[in-house]
Structure 1
Amino acid sequence: MTVLHPALLTRSVLTRRGLLRNTAVVSTGVVLGAAGLAACGDSAEVTEDMRIAQQLQPLSIAASVDAAAATALAARAPDRAAALTVIAAERQTHATLINDEIARLSPDVARPSSTSGVVADPSPVATTGGAAAPTSSAPSVADAAAAVATVDDLRARLSDARSTAAGLAVAGQGYRAGMLGSVAAALTAEIEVQLA
């Protein structure tokens, strides 16, 4: 039988205690580090979703403005009323589809909806190109629609919206890219067929 020297026995016990202590510290660090990385990943996704929702918001607002403008123009241009009514319905559908995607990505950014579509909110919107961000000096949806005085004005707005939707479709992925591509195609038909 081997007899261990007391100094070696003490050293062996300390080493085991130290090993256990170090293992506990490392394990805790790994768990906390993994939790921290997971939290960072979640916040990065939320930030990306919010950024995309903010990119889509002007498209939804522009679609609402276009729908209201087409409806108003239909009353003033009876010879184009049928085409303008189709455009108004399609643009309201676009506003609702895009707003639904915004609500999925970031509910705080989405506009209120009803069963008949997006509620024309009283918040101000920019009218240029349909893709500018809301500003405090810009008119509301109704005011912006009233500023579209002619069919040519509407055509220019639709053309700007088509360019914006097509650009975001190319940059997007999955459902969102397909939806925006469909919106751009519908806008092309509205411009080149309905308003030809």
Structure 2
Amino acid sequence: MCDVSTLHRPPAALTRRTVLRTSASLGVVLALTATTGCAGADDDAVTAEPDPLLAEARRARADAAAARAVLADRPDLVDTMTVIADQRTAHADALEAEILRATPTTTTATPTTTTAVPATAVPTPAELRDDLTESAQRAATLARSTQGYRGGLLGSISASCTLVAAAVQG
């Protein structure tokens, strides 16, 4: 015959030692998970590259400052240089707005400053035209590898730079 007492055992009593072992094991697992998660976040932050639009925004600000410097040196080009300075400033503003839109809110943006071009570094209209042509080419190249709104923005900037570069008389 079968002994019923061996088939049905009461559950083991929860001892202090069992609770401590389980808590310690759980604590180790949580600590390792947290450490691994933080390490991954740090690696992402270190390997994250700056936004490619940032260089284009700086370039637009530099072109605008150069146009203002040429204007100060050559008042006869007031119409052309004013349009160039205004458009390149608008380009920089649009690029920076897109960078801020795409940047997570946990990071802080560094304010941009417009620096004056030293009097000895005032470009000639021909140099400004070359800079604008290079800006147009860089924006077009970046536009080809960028999709969506950013690609359209860069294509528009490229077209604008090409147009104003053609208007600059050497």
What's the TM-score once normalised by structure 1's chain length? 0.58
Structure 1 gaps, min length 5: 15-28, 113-118, 121-140
Deviation at 1:186, TM superposition (A): 0.7
CA distance in 1 between counterparts of 2:139 and 2:126 reads 20
Whose Rg is larger? 2
Contact 1:74 1:82 in 2 (8 A): no
Contact 1:71 1:85 in 2 (8 A): yes
Deviation at 1:76, TM superposition (A): 2.4
Q: Any residues of structure 2 matched to 1:69-148 within 5 Å, and which?
A: 69-104=66-101, 105=103, 107-112=107-112, 119-120=113-114, 141-143=115-117, 147-148=121-122
CA distance in 1 between counterparts of 2:120 and 2:109 reads 25
Contact 1:99 1:111 in 2 (8 A): no
Q: Which stretches of structure 1, 4 residues or more, deviate above 4 A after TM superposition? A: 2-5
Q: CA RMSD in A?
A: 3.8
Q: Any residues of structure 2 matched to 1:30-49 within 5 Å, and which?
A: none
**Matched residue, 1:63:** 60
Contact 1:73 1:81 in 2 (8 A): no
Larger relative contact order (C-alpha < 8 A, sep ≥ 6)? 2
**Matched residue, 1:168:** 142
**Matched residue, 2:163:** 189
CA distance in 1 between counterparts of 2:118 and 2:149 reads 30
Contact 1:65 1:144 in 2 (8 A): no
CA distance in 1 between counterparts of 2:151 and 2:120 reads 31
Mark the CA change 1:144 to 1:103 in structure 2 (over 3 Å): closer, same or farther. Answer: farther
Deviation at 1:151, TM superposition (A): 0.7
What's the TM-score once normalised by structure 2's chain length? 0.65
Percent of pairs identical after alignment?
32
Mark the CA change 1:158 to 1:4 in structure 2 (over 3 Å): closer, same or farther. Answer: farther
SS in structure 2 of the partner of residue 103 of structure 1: helix
Deviation at 1:56, TM superposition (A): 2.1
